[in-house]
C-alpha cells in the first residue's frame, strides 16, 4: 500500500475501477430509481430527486444527486445537525436500505465522486474542510462510502473524521476499496447520523 496522492498510476487505476463498476451498475440503479421515484412523488410530493452543492476534489464544489428523503423545508445542513422528524415517510426506508444514494452513480460516471473516499461535506463545514486540507484529503474524490462510514463516524467529529480519511489516503489499494464496498453492502457501520440520533 502507498500514498494514493503521490502515485498517479494508482489514481488512474482507481478511476478506471470506479467508471467500470458505475457502467455495470448504472442500468440496475436506473431501474430501481424509476421504480422508487413514483412512490416518492405520490407519498411525499416533488421533487423526488434531491440536488445539493458539496465540496469535492481539490475543494471544488460540485452538485450531488440523491433520492429525496427529507421534507422540502429541511435546512441545508449536515445530517448530524438535522432532526429525524424531517425525514419523509419513504425517506426512512430509503435511508435504512441506503437506496437514496443510487443517483450518485451519475456523480461517479461524471468524475465528481468515487465509490470509496471521504464523504463529501457542505461548503459551510469549514472546520472539516480545513482539517481534511491539512492532511491532504482534499486530493481525493469524495466517495459514496469510505472507511469513516464503515467505522460508524459522522461529521459531528471533524478532526477524527479527517484522520480516518487520511489513513485511507495513506493505505490505499484496489483490494481495500473492494473490501470497503463489500462491508458497506453487508451493512457495516451504524448508519446515518439522523437515524442514530432518533434511535438513541
Predicted TM-score (pTM) of the model is 0.87
**Residue 143 near residue 172, CB atoms below 8 Å:** no
User: How far separated are the first and last CA of the chain, in Å rounded?
Assistant: 38
Instruction: Measure the CA–CA gap between 75 and 80, rounded to whole angstroms.
Output: 12
Q: Tens of pLDDT along the chain (200 residues)?
A: 456 666 778 888 999 999 999 999 999 999 999 999 999 999 999 999 999 999 999 999 999 999 999 998 765 666 665 667 789 999 999 998 989 999 999 999 999 999 999 999 999 999 999 999 999 999 999 999 998 888 888 888 899 999 999 988 888 888 889 999 999 888 776 545 554 444 43
Rounded Cα distance between 52 and 34, Å, is 20
Domain boundaries, the chain: 4-199
Grid coordinates representing 176?
481495500
What is the DSSP track for 67-103? E--B-TT--S--GGGS-GGGB-HHHHHHHHHTGGGTT
Distance CA 33, CA 107 (A): 15
Distance CA 147, CA 156 (A): 16
Amino acid at each position: 500500500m502507498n500514498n494514493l496522492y503521490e502515485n498517479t498510476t494508482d489514481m488512474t487505476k482507481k478511476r478506471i475501477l470506479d467508471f467500470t463498476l458505475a457502467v455495470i451498475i448504472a442500468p440496475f440503479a436506473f431501474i430501481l430509481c424509476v421504480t422508487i421515484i413514483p412512490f416518492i412523488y405520490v407519498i411525499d410530493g416533488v421533487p423526488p430527486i434531491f440536488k445539493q452543492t458539496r465540496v469535492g476534489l481539490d475543494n471544488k464544489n460540485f452538485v450531488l444527486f440523491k433520492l429525496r428523503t427529507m421534507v422540502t423545508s429541511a435546512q441545508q445542513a449536515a445530517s448530524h445537525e438535522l432532526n429525524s422528524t424531517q425525514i419523509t415517510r419513504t425517506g426512512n426506508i430509503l435511508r435504512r436500505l441506503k437506496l437514496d444514494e443510487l443517483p450518485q452513480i451519475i456523480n461517479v460516471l461524471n468524475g465528481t465522486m468515487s465509490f470509496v473516499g471521504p464523504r463529501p461535506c457542505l461548503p459551510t463545514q469549514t472546520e472539516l474542510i480545513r482539517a481534511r486540507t491539512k492532511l491532504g484529503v482534499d486530493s481525493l474524490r469524495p466517495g459514496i462510502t469510505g472507511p469513516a462510514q464503515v467505522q460508524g463516524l459522522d461529521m459531528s467529529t471533524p478532526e477524527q473524521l479527517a484522520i480516518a480519511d487520511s489513513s485511507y489516503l495513506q493505505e490505499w489499494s484496489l483490494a481495500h476499496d473492494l473490501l470497503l464496498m463489500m462491508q458497506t453492502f453487508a451493512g457495516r457501520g451504524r448508519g446515518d447520523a439522523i437515524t442514530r440520533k432518533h434511535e438513541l
